[in-house]
Amino acid sequence: MHYFKTVFFSIGTISFIGFLVLAFTSHPNFENKNNSTVNDYNVYALEIPTALDFSGEVLPVFTPDIRERMDRELLVNTYWQSNGLLLFKRSHRYFPVIEPILKSYGIPDDFKYLALIESGLQNVTSPAGAKGFWQIMEATGKEYGLEINSNVDERYHLELSTHVACNYILKAKEKFGDWTLAAAAYNAGIRGISNQLEKQQVTNYYDLLLGEETGRYIFRIVALKEILNHPKKYGFNFTEADLYAPIPTSKIQLDTAVTDFVEFARKLGLNYKQLKIHNPWLREGFLNNKSRKLYTLEIPDKGYYDRVN
């Protein structure tokens, strides 16, 4: 959540440049402009949409530096095609979990793209120790009621961590009065954004001079929102069958200790891997649960992993 150093897109930029160098310099006829094979791969400048917004708050794209920063994020994410396709695939599975929770808090749907840029919708760990889809730091998670220890880490629980993210976003929105600054505060912290607004004597995100990560943050979100909502416009071609479908599950409750999750899973008709895929917040092969806390586990529908399509 706070101070997470996103390497996602900088890596993509390097990969993209390397791809272009390889694609053109390694081609035996790359200097022969009359050879049609040179044009098998084309890179085009992108038209910057004139009506872009985040959560209904308009981006001032006619301002030169704003336009160029938006152009950068659209280019990086359009031409990092492999990553783009993975984001389409994962969002099809996980956005249906995130969207109704955002709605229940009155938070705009656009915030699902915040989770997308934070983690790529994966349970990753940042260099600073932020974890899960929403990249929540340990102190923040505990402050908002998540259980975090060597046995259980609920930052990896998609539903519970989304509730934490929503509460933090609402707190930031109450402080700043607009969704754009609330989103920026998710990355830089409420205090961090407050200090910069006061120091620079401005009132909105687009007038702030910020560090690399927070300065790109909103533009990354809006770029992915634009691309995911207009795939063909940006050259992404797929069918619904290519996307990762939500996996049907049911919930069971558990209020006891578990000494061996391998055996526990077997009794449910699963293997250990399948149990952990759906409950990544269980961090060890057993559950202490000395307090007899009531946990809810996600169990994939019987036979789902045995299907042959």
Give CA separation, 296 vs 56, 253, 255, in Å: 36, 5, 9
- Name the domain count of the chain: 2
Q: Are residues 133 and 258 in the same domain?
A: no
Q: Are residues 290 and 153 in the same domain?
A: no
Q: For residue 63, which amino acid is it?
A: T
- What CATH number has the domain bearing residue 18? 1.10.530.10
Asked if the structure places residue 280 within a domain, the reply is yes
Task: Quote the CA–CA distance of 225 and 112 in Å, as a whole number.
Answer: 9
Task: Quote the CA–CA distance of 298 and 218 in Å, as a whole number.
Answer: 33
**277 is in which domain, residue-wise?**
249-306
Task: Quote the CA–CA distance of 110 and 169 in Å, as a whole number.
Answer: 12
> Which pLDDT score, from 0 to 100, does residue 171 have?
98
Q: Are residues 48 and 143 in the same domain?
A: yes
Q: Which of 13-17, 120-124, 263-267, 301-305 has the lowest mean pLDDT?
A: 13-17
* pTM of the predicted model as reported, rounded to 2 decimal places: 0.86
Q: Are residues 227 and 268 in the same domain?
A: no
Asked if the structure places residue 54 within a domain, the reply is yes
Q: Are residues 58 and 20 in the same domain?
A: yes
Asked if the structure places residue 2 within a domain, the reply is no
Q: Are residues 144 and 276 in the same domain?
A: no
Asked if the structure places residue 1 within a domain, the reply is no
Strand partners, 299: 250
pLDDT band at 40 (very low <50, low <70, confident <90, very high): low
268 and 275 Cβ atoms separated by less than 8 Å: yes
Distance between first and last Cα of the chain: 39
pLDDT band at 57 (very low <50, low <70, confident <90, very high): very high
Q: Are residues 108 and 155 in the same domain?
A: yes
Q: Are residues 133 and 208 in the same domain?
A: yes
Asked if the structure places residue 119 within a domain, the reply is yes
> Which pLDDT score, from 0 to 100, does residue 6 have?
42
